[in-house]
A = this chain, B = another copy of it.
């Protein structure tokens, strides 16, 4: 397992640990330590503490430089979208970190390996271990490979409020009427589909679909922003 993981880190992320014990620590849960009292093991929590701050800086530095005109408020919102526990567990799954966690038997049985909160912790402890062993530049490289491309793939779009975005964008020159109209509602109860149009001064500017009225409205607002050519409004 260890060798397979070393190989993966080297081939996928160009990371080769000097101190393997740090990598072990990052992927070891307290339950495993408790079951192996003779091995003098450490569990991931301290590295998680450190990794949290490292990742926050690497993301802040990246978006600060990538969007040199973006005001503080938007930077803060974008950072919050990238630095949060929901995103962390997605990153951990994307990197298949779940395979390499060392768990106690009870936790294993309880399904901890697939628990969002654990995956999220492990993502941060991994970042902490890379930082300690390799320095911040290696963390930046990892993020360039794994995290930052997600920005262009729309991973964080759900954290943006497109309705507010649209309102801010079209009301700069004074108040305008914005209404959301339900066009269609279809499908069985457990898989309901909604179709919503956004009307700006009674003119249809975008249509969106979703499993709730709310998500369909967000999709419609996003479509309207695209149509207005302010697709990347959030990133300017």
Contact = CB atoms under 8 A, between A and B. Distances in A.
Contacts of A230: none
Overall SS of chain A's interface: helix
A149 interface: no
A57 B135 CA distance: 13
Given A50-B64, A64-B50, A45 B57 contact: no
Contacts of A61: 50, 53
Contacts of A45: 71-72
7 nearest CB pairs, A to B: A53-B60, A45-B72, A53-B57, A57-B57, A49-B72, A53-B56, A50-B64
A106 B57 CA distance: 35
10 contacts: A46-B70, A46-B71, A48-B72, A49-B79, A53-B53, A53-B56, A53-B59, A53-B61, A54-B57, A57-B57
